Structure 1
C-alpha cells in the first residue's frame, strides 16, 4: 500500500504548460499532518560579495540532494531558491527531515564556513497563522517534474525561520549528509539575446490571488515572446570544458569526509573521460552524450512559483523594459515587491541520480548573484 506521501503527491496531475500555473485552482492543499522544511544561508549577499556564489548555490541545492537521498527515491515536493531551498514531507518522514537538516547545518559550517539556517514547520501551524501551503507539479519533460508552491505558507515559514522559531539545531561535529549525485560540472551558459536576468516577484498583503495571477500571466506572456520563452540554456545543452570549472567545489561536496586532494584528482580523471565522450559524441553503453545534453536543457528549472514568481531569463532589452514596466506599475499599486538582477551568464547546479536515465535535475540561476541579488534588491 502506498504511504500518505505517495497517496497525495503522486496523485497530483503533471502540468506541461507552465503558464497554466498562474491559475490558483491548479494547486492542491498539502495535508495538515505534513511539515515544511526550509533552509537558507545567513548573509548570502556577503558570501556573494566574496565571490562565493557558486558555493552558495551548491549549499542551497545540497538541501534538496540530501533529502532525495534520505527518502530513497520517494517523490516529494521541493523548490530551489538560489541561496536555500524548501520542501514538504508527510508525518512519517518528519524525523528524517529533521536529521537531514541538522546534518546539513553542521556540514555547511565545517566544510565551507557557511552558516545555514534551517527550520521544520508543521503545516498545521502555517494554517493557524492564516496562511496556506498548496502545491502543483510542473513537468518540463518526460524525465522530471518540479513542485510549485502557493498560499503564502512557504514565505511565512521562511520568515519564522529567520526569526528563530521552529529551528532545527545543528548535528554533532563530523556530520555528513548523503549528497550523492550533486555536482556542478558544466560551464556557464552565456546570454545569447541580451542579458541573463534574474527576476523575483512576491505579492504583498494588498494583492489578492487574482491580482497576482493577472500580473504573473502578463509577465509570462511577455517572456513567452523571447526565443524559447527566455530559456537561458542552449537547446543542445550547456558548454562543457576540461578541466571543469569549480572542480575544487565539487570535490568538497562529494568527498564525504575523505581526503580533498585525492577526491579532486579522482574528479579530474572522471571529467576528462566525460569530456572526451561529449567531444566525440560516441555512445558508451546506455549513455548517449547528445541525448543527455538535450535533456539537461529540457529538464532545467529556470521558472518557478514559490509564493511568488522566479525566473532566470535570457532576455533582450525591449522585453526586459516591458517586464520592468509591468512590475513597476504593480509595485506602485502596492500589489507586489520585486527585484531584478542582470548578468552575462547563467549557471547550473545539478542532481544526477544516473547519467543513463532522463530524471536528472538541473537548477538554473544567474552566475553573478542571481536570485539572491535580486531578492536583496527587493528587500532593500
Structure 2
C-alpha cells in the first residue's frame, strides 16, 4: 500500500479533547483537507435483520468496515466512526485505492458469509463541499491509548445519502477476495441495565438549525446525562461480564478464518477466549497480560456516545432522567430545532477491535442489544428534511 505520512500527520496534529461536552461546539472541529476521501457504508435491510434477531451480526458487519480499514493502512491513524448498521471514515488521497479495496472485500465477505447486502461508497471532500456541506473532525480521548473521531458539517450524512441513492458506489471485490479483519471480535457478555433501561438516542439538527442553536440543545442534553452514574456509561467501571464459551464466538470465527476453515477458526477462538476467561476469574498474570486490567480498560475505551453530524448516545438511564431527556427533546422537536429518535431495551452490547491484548489501543463500539441505533432511527420525530 501507499502510506501518506502527511495524511497521518494532519490527523495526529489535531488536538484531543477530554471533555465530551466541549465537542458540542462547532469551533473545536477542523475541516478535512480538500484532497481527502470520505468512505461510507450501510447495511441493506438492517431493519428486517434486526427484527429477525440478527443485530449482533449487523453490528459485526458494520465494525468489519472499520477493522478492514485499520488493517489496510497498517494501523496508521485516520478518522472513523461506528453507527450501528454502518460506519464512516476519511482517508488521504494516497490511501484511496487501498481503502476502496478494503471496502469492496468487506462487501463480498458480508454477502458470502452472512447473506447481508452492504452499500459502500467513497467521495472526495472537495465534492462534498461543492454540494454545500463540509466534513470536519475532532478527537475525543477516552483513555491514554484511545481517542475517537467526531464528525461535523453535514458532509458525512450527505455522502451516506448520496450512496443510498446510488452515487459514488464502490463495486464488490472479485470472488475469492478476503478482507483482513485481524482483531475484530465480540466476546463480551451483553450489558444489562443497572438503573432502568438502555436508551439508544439519535439527535439531529433540522434544516436551517444553526450550529450555535444545535450546540445549545446538545449541551443541555449532555447536562441531563451528567446526572446519570458515570454519565450513563453502560459498561461497569470494572469492565463487562464474560462467560465461556462467549456469545459471539460463532460470529468471530467468520471474521478470523481468512482462507482457512471455520472449524479451525472456531477452535482458535474458543481456546483464546477460554484462556482469557480463566485469567479473569483467577487474576493470574501470564506473559505480561493482566486480564483484569484489560477488562477495566475495555470499559474505559468503550465508545458509547459520539457526534456524527448530530449526537448519538447509548445510555444506562434511570426513569427520572429518561423523563427529563424526553421532555427536552419533544420541546426541541416542536420548536423545529431537532429531529430525534429513541429506542429502549434492557441491554447494551459491544463489538470490538483488538490489535493486541498487550496494548491499550483496543476500541469497543457500544450499541443497544435489541435494535439500538437502527431502531432509534426508525422512530425519528420532528420536521422532515427538505
Bin for the TM-score computed over the shorter chain: over 0.9
* Map of 2:111 onto structure 1: 109
Offset from partner CA, 1:246-301 (integer Å, 9 cap, x none): 21111111111321123222222221111111100111121111211111000000
Where in structure 2 are the equivalents of 1:2-151 lying within 5 Å?
3-151=5-153
User: 218, 222, 227: which is aligned to 1:225?
Assistant: 227
CA distance in 2, matches of 1:56, 1:315: 24
CA distance in 2, matches of 1:316, 1:94: 45
Moved more, 284-293 or 194-203: 284-293
1:191 aligns with 2:193: yes
TM-score of the two chains, using structure 2 as the length reference: 0.97
Q: Equivalent residue of 1:10, what SS? A: helix
Q: Equivalent residue of 2:69, what SS? A: helix
Equivalent pairs counted in the alignment come to 380
* Map of 1:242 onto structure 2: 244
Deviation at 1:104, TM superposition (A): 1.1
Where in structure 2 are the equivalents of 1:170-189 lying within 5 Å?
170-189=172-191
Q: Equivalent residue of 1:36, what SS? A: strand
* Map of 1:285 onto structure 2: 287
CA distance in 2, matches of 1:37, 1:299: 24
Q: Equivalent residue of 1:372, what SS? A: helix
Deviation at 1:311, TM superposition (A): 0.3
User: 159, 162, 167: which is aligned to 1:160?
Assistant: 162
CA distance in 2, matches of 1:267, 1:32: 42
CA distance in 2, matches of 1:338, 1:43: 21
Deviation at 1:4, TM superposition (A): 2.2
Q: Which runs of 5+ in 1 are unaligned?
A: none
Deviation at 1:43, TM superposition (A): 1.2
Moved more, 20-29 or 3-12: 3-12
CA distance in 1, matches of 2:5, 2:260: 36
* Map of 2:338 onto structure 1: 336
Q: Equivalent residue of 1:342, what SS? A: strand
Deviation at 1:341, TM superposition (A): 0.6
Where in structure 2 are the equivalents of 1:349-368 lying within 5 Å?
349-368=351-370
User: 291, 294, 297: which is aligned to 1:295?
Assistant: 297
Offset from partner CA, 1:105-154 (integer Å, 9 cap, x none): 11110111000000001101100010000000000111100000000001
CA distance in 1, matches of 2:287, 2:272: 16
CA contact (8 A) 1:185 1:246 kept: yes
* Map of 1:312 onto structure 2: 314
User: 259, 262, 265: which is aligned to 1:263?
Assistant: 265
The CA RMSD over aligned residues, in Å, is 1.2
CA distance in 2, matches of 1:258, 1:46: 31
Deviation at 1:335, TM superposition (A): 1.5
CA contact (8 A) 1:180 1:254 kept: yes
Deviation at 1:2, TM superposition (A): 7.2
Q: Equivalent residue of 1:296, what SS? A: helix
Deviation at 1:226, TM superposition (A): 0.3
Moved more, 114-123 or 250-259: 250-259
CA distance in 1, matches of 2:211, 2:248: 41
CA contact (8 A) 1:206 1:334 kept: no
Structure 1 segments, 4+ long, off by >2 Å, are 1-4
User: 196, 204, 207: which is aligned to 2:206?
Assistant: 204
Offset from partner CA, 1:172-231 (integer Å, 9 cap, x none): 112211000000000011100110100011111121101110010000000001000000
CA contact (8 A) 2:4 2:95 kept: no
CA distance in 1, matches of 2:104, 2:266: 26
Q: Equivalent residue of 1:329, what SS? A: helix
* Map of 1:375 onto structure 2: 377
